[in-house]
Amino acid sequence: MKQAEIRSDIAWATPKKVVVHGLDLCEEIVGKIDFGQMAFLQLFARLPDERELRMFNAMMVILVEHGITPSSLATRMTYAGAPEAVQAAVAAGLLGLGSVFVGSLDNAARLLQASLPDPRNVPDIDALASSIVDDYRARKEILPGIGHPFHKPIDPRAPALFKVAQETGYDGPYIRLMTAIGQAAEEKLKRALPVNVTGAMAAVASEMGIPWQICRGLAVAARSVGLVGHILEEMRQPIATALYLRTEHEATAHLIPREHREEA
Amino acid sequence: MKQAEIRSDIAWATPKKVVVHGLDLCEEIVGKIDFGQMAFLQLFARLPDERELRMFNAMMVILVEHGITPSSLATRMTYAGAPEAVQAAVAAGLLGLGSVFVGSLDNAARLLQASLPDPRNVPDIDALASSIVDDYRARKEILPGIGHPFHKPIDPRAPALFKVAQETGYDGPYIRLMTAIGQAAEEKLKRALPVNVTGAMAAVASEMGIPWQICRGLAVAARSVGLVGHILEEMRQPIATALYLRTEHEATAHLIPREHREEA
Amino acid sequence: MKQAEIRSDIAWATPKKVVVHGLDLCEEIVGKIDFGQMAFLQLFARLPDERELRMFNAMMVILVEHGITPSSLATRMTYAGAPEAVQAAVAAGLLGLGSVFVGSLDNAARLLQASLPDPRNVPDIDALASSIVDDYRARKEILPGIGHPFHKPIDPRAPALFKVAQETGYDGPYIRLMTAIGQAAEEKLKRALPVNVTGAMAAVASEMGIPWQICRGLAVAARSVGLVGHILEEMRQPIATALYLRTEHEATAHLIPREHREEA
Amino acid sequence: MKQAEIRSDIAWATPKKVVVHGLDLCEEIVGKIDFGQMAFLQLFARLPDERELRMFNAMMVILVEHGITPSSLATRMTYAGAPEAVQAAVAAGLLGLGSVFVGSLDNAARLLQASLPDPRNVPDIDALASSIVDDYRARKEILPGIGHPFHKPIDPRAPALFKVAQETGYDGPYIRLMTAIGQAAEEKLKRALPVNVTGAMAAVASEMGIPWQICRGLAVAARSVGLVGHILEEMRQPIATALYLRTEHEATAHLIPREHREEA
């Protein structure tokens, strides 16, 4: 069998030296760059400049903590059963970051990047937005990145992110397109559909040249930090056991025959 | 059934506002603090001062990327089967961060924190180290945090981390104890057993007041960033399929009877 | 906030009694039904009759073990790092059962069930198959369930499964449609494209009334048994550490500068 | 670098043939053996005889479904976020099968197998049980396999399993030792501590020659079937979203300042 090449360009080590993306871990990374720079380095194989770093940090911090969600509850439930395996509790919480909660980020970024493959060659943004909205309506699909069931009338995180984009010079065609999609949808559907946090993230990621395929990865990496915070709180102030016991009781009480209820 | 209290103090949200650990996400976090500060905030429920942040960043960056490991291979294998579920590929890689690869970090931090429960009340460090080494030898257990099978004679990451600790004023009794344990072990076992990266991390975490129970959580959070980098490389330059095909061939060739080999 | 109903009909328990899908665990399940019957009971909320059980068992046994795959390697890599967490090693192996390896089963079952929504009302199968093949060719999509890169010219597992279907009376319209799709594809694409194991499983599952959405679940449940077998072998005769060490060496050797090679 | 041997003895395949543990998949497995036999084959590399199979089936069926638990809730939470990744939902549920819920099975089996390394050479069981109980009390550790917080005074699953053991000739020294440990503990601690399901499983597994290290694996494999049943119910009759929304509300209401409550 011919051997296919197996090659990785990320890191190498000798007994005396560890090098990651061309930087000496002990001489050029530890004590020299911060966690945000390191995350950027790991993802883009180079260090960010100052404005890239500020924009990247803004995206990462917004993704860390989303409160009591299916994801943080899965982490807490797993910790309750396997407190010795903190890695498994974090993993369990990450596993639900799929099509429902984080997938719209990929979808919005894919829509933007497919609609505007070359950001230096920008067509009439309003006409493009209008045709995108018509296209989704014709296919009866939900437009990603606009509207929010809870954060109404506007998702405050979108303007917060766009403000940083403006300050760092990332207010380019993808942000204009995302905004125009929201406006076109509002006009055609006659209801408030401003850009939400997902749409804002997707637009900013596209401005930074981040391929849509890895947007979910950014969310997953940032959220893993958040989930460790939930484990720390579950250690001090647990809720998983109380929650499962009362859920078990409520969910199955209707099944227990009258003659067995007293003992239950 | 009496309802146990279910309470979380991490975050709250209204339609117009999101607050994490007391800070307004849109006004005080996005664009204002960086990823390292946000990670610290999520774990300690307060922002770090400058020297805390520098020390914390140094620990986090050292944990991000460890090359081709069982963990990064599990991530790449999972991505090969489920490229649509990036979250699952990251989770798969985290799951192996258990007793063999990251557990020694917990163990070393537990040893230090149990041996020195009050860092303001420090006994004779050399005598303490000597008794710890004797105790492990008597129980025939491996001392965590010293020696390294590959990084010999010294693990260069340990002095790199200790240098930052010195610069930031974290060179306290836990670092002295960890170093003394290595020296006592070298004397008693007659071979080079300097503090390794795990021992250095454990000592620094203890200096920062990080409970040993959550040290693995720091490693898991940082590594999830690293694993996203491996997914990005696997997208561009895959190795998982070639690796499993050749492994399957090598591992099972001895089972195939002669008369069936030609067709295989 | 109005409380939505939280209800589960699977099981209930009192201190003296456990009931699963209406059967008393201690009186009617343990020692009375076997693992295949229990799996059927859990999935369909009733016990199978004899022919259902034989067909169901045939599907389950075929899914248990697939050799050295990305999935079993992810399990072994995870076990190497966290041998104390067998559950995490199994979970890691399951995570790669996504669109590439098991997804074609869902896709084939969805295709069959969407094309033939009412199996009592069967149109001209050959015409239907021909239009399905034309439709996929027009959309340049890959037809699920036919052809195999390794098991050529035919996948021997498909006729084995269809033989049991015939013996148990499950040789109905979905199997005829799947077979006809293979034949139509062979005619139109001028190459051998017989039904593969995935197509056969999808056809049989459709005959049994199993919704396409849960076909992947059957595969996942069966494979978890298989992965425990790989963990057992890894305990006795490990390969993960040797495999990652040689992969690390091969993958990164090109990065190490000449002057650092000697020490590596 | 010298190449370590990479070898697996589980399965091999050629284009025309698949062989698992020496049996031809298409000729000797599909349609010939059932799911319980296949699970036994995968774990023990041979087919069971009739009494082994009945005992093994009894253990597996008891492990499949345990109602609304942290594990099934983690599965349902994950499905709510990633319904396209059924494998991830099952994996999330498995991850919590750790020291709290399933670990006592390993611990009880380890205790039995360490105390009675050779079942053909049986000492005075009552004296052995008494010394085991004394030993655990002296170390202030919890004895695994006896007592139950909910199933009191006796766990009905233990006698159900022991009844099958008796019928199949597996009522040997490990079951006697487990029972004697419960009795000795009751006498010394002056409260009801009969053998629970975990202790019964551990004793039966030991009778069957199953090493304690893999007992958790049996539980994990069986439970994955159970979790697929929970996903099926969650598809039809979801509870995850309602549960997380009300938990989020209850857990964080105390944090929201009075002036922000109206809009929440």
Question: SS in 3 state form for A39-100?
Answer: HHHHHHCCCCCHHHHHHHHHHHHHHHCCCCCHHHHHHHHHHHHCCCCHHHHHHHHHHCCCCC
The residue out of D29, D47, D65 marking a domain boundary is D47
Specify the pLDDT at position C152. Answer: 86
| Inside any domain, residue C250 | no
Q: How confident is the model at residue D263 (pLDDT cuts 50, 70, 90)?
A: low
Chain C, residues 176-235, CB within 8 A of chain B, namely none
Taking contacts as CB-CB distances below 8 angstroms, the residues of chain B near C84 are 98-99
Same domain? For C20 and C141 the reply is no
Specify the pLDDT at position D262. Answer: 67
Taking contacts as CB-CB distances below 8 angstroms, the residues of chain A near B212 are none
Percent of chain C with pLDDT over 70: 98
Task: Return the minimum-mean-pLDDT range out of A145-159, A226-240, B30-44, C194-208.
Answer: A145-159
Same domain? For C30 and C130 the reply is no
Which pairing describes strands A23-24 and D11-14: parallel, antiparallel, or unpaired? unpaired
CATH code where residue B143 lies: 1.10.230.10
Write down the ipTM of this complex.
0.96
Task: Classify residue B154 by burial, with Cβ atoms within 10 Å: 0-12, 13-18, 19+.
Answer: middle
Instruction: List the chains bordering chain B where 3 or more Cβ pairs fall under 8 Å.
Output: A, C, D
Tokens found for residue D157:
């699953």
| Inside any domain, residue D241 | no
Specify the pLDDT at position A1. Answer: 47
Find the domain containing A41 and state its range: 1-46
pLDDT (tens digit per residue) in C123-171: 999 999 999 999 999 999 999 999 988 888 899 999 999 999 999 999 9
Residue B2 has pLDDT above 80, yes or no: no
| Inside any domain, residue B133 | yes
H or E stretch at A20: strand A17-20
The residue out of B178, B207, B236 marking a domain boundary is B207
| Inside any domain, residue A173 | yes
Task: Classify residue B97 by burial, with Cβ atoms within 10 Å: 0-12, 13-18, 19+.
Answer: buried
Average pLDDT score over chain D: 95
Is D121 part of the contact surface with chain B (CB cutoff 8 Å)? no
H or E stretch at B257: none
| Facing residue for B254 by CB, picked from D7, D252, D255 | D7
Is A19 part of the contact surface with chain B (CB cutoff 8 Å)? no
Same domain? For B110 and B38 the reply is no
**Cα separation, A182 vs A192, whole angstroms:** 9
Is B13 part of the contact surface with chain A (CB cutoff 8 Å)? yes
Same domain? For C92 and C172 the reply is yes
Task: Return the minimum-mean-pLDDT range out of B23-32, B210-219, D1-10, D100-109.
Answer: D1-10
Nearest to B201 by CA among B29, B59, B40: B59
Same domain? For A109 and A180 the reply is yes
The residue out of B175, B192, B207 marking a domain boundary is B207
Same domain? For D110 and D37 the reply is no
Phi-psi region of B207 (alpha: psi -120 to 50; beta: other; left: phi over 0): alpha
| Facing residue for C82 by CB, picked from A85, A256, A264 | A85
Q: How confident is the model at residue B99 (pLDDT cuts 50, 70, 90)?
A: very high
B244/C85 touch (CB, cutoff 8 Å), yes or no: no
Same domain? For A41 and A118 the reply is no
A91/C87 touch (CB, cutoff 8 Å), yes or no: no
Specify the pLDDT at position B3. Answer: 66
Tally C-beta pairs within 8 A across A and D: 136
| Inside any domain, residue C248 | no
Taking contacts as CB-CB distances below 8 angstroms, the residues of chain D near B84 are 84-85
Same domain? For C70 and C28 the reply is no
Q: What mean pLDDT do residues C28-54 have? A: 97
pLDDT (tens digit per residue) in B41-88: 999 999 999 999 999 999 999 999 999 999 999 999 999 999 999 999
Taking contacts as CB-CB distances below 8 angstroms, the residues of chain A near D251 are 68, 239
Tally C-beta pairs within 8 A across A and C: 70
Same domain? For A128 and A201 the reply is yes
For A219, phi and psi rounded to 5 degrees? -65, -40
- The number of folded domains in chain B is 2
| Inside any domain, residue A57 | no
Taking contacts as CB-CB distances below 8 angstroms, the residues of chain A near C256 are 12, 14
Same domain? For D112 and D39 the reply is no
C251/A8 touch (CB, cutoff 8 Å), yes or no: yes
Nearest Cα of chain A lies from the Cα of C125 at a distance, in angstroms, of 29
For B19, phi and psi rounded to 5 degrees? -125, 125
Same domain? For A108 and A32 the reply is no
D35/C39 touch (CB, cutoff 8 Å), yes or no: yes
Is C149 part of the contact surface with chain D (CB cutoff 8 Å)? no
Residue D211 has pLDDT above 70, yes or no: yes
Taking contacts as CB-CB distances below 8 angstroms, the residues of chain A near D82 are 95-100
- Structure-model confidence comparison of residues D91 and D214, the more confident one: D91
Is D100 part of the contact surface with chain A (CB cutoff 8 Å)? yes
Taking contacts as CB-CB distances below 8 angstroms, the residues of chain A near B17 are 156
B252/D8 touch (CB, cutoff 8 Å), yes or no: yes
Instruction: List the chains bordering chain C where 3 or more Cβ pairs fall under 8 Å.
Output: A, B, D
pLDDT (tens digit per residue) in A103-136: 889 999 999 999 999 999 999 999 999 999 999 9
Nearest Cα of chain B lies from the Cα of D208 at a distance, in angstroms, of 28
Residue A264 has pLDDT above 60, yes or no: no
Residue B171 has pLDDT above 80, yes or no: yes
Size of chain D in residues: 264
Nearest to A123 by CA among A144, A168, A132, A208: A132
The CA angle D193-D199-D203, to the nearest 5 degrees, is 130
Taking contacts as CB-CB distances below 8 angstroms, the residues of chain D near A251 are 68, 239
Is C167 part of the contact surface with chain D (CB cutoff 8 Å)? yes
D74/A69 touch (CB, cutoff 8 Å), yes or no: no
H or E stretch at A17: strand A17-20
Residue D3 has pLDDT above 80, yes or no: no
Specify the pLDDT at position B136. Answer: 95
Q: What is the DSSP string of B38-61?
A: HHHHHHHSS---HHHHHHHHHHHH
D247/A252 touch (CB, cutoff 8 Å), yes or no: no
| Inside any domain, residue D180 | yes
Task: Return the minimum-mean-pLDDT range out of A234-248, C223-237, D142-156.
Answer: D142-156
Taking contacts as CB-CB distances below 8 angstroms, the residues of chain A near C251 are 6-8
| Inside any domain, residue D166 | yes
C81/B67 touch (CB, cutoff 8 Å), yes or no: no
Same domain? For A115 and A196 the reply is yes
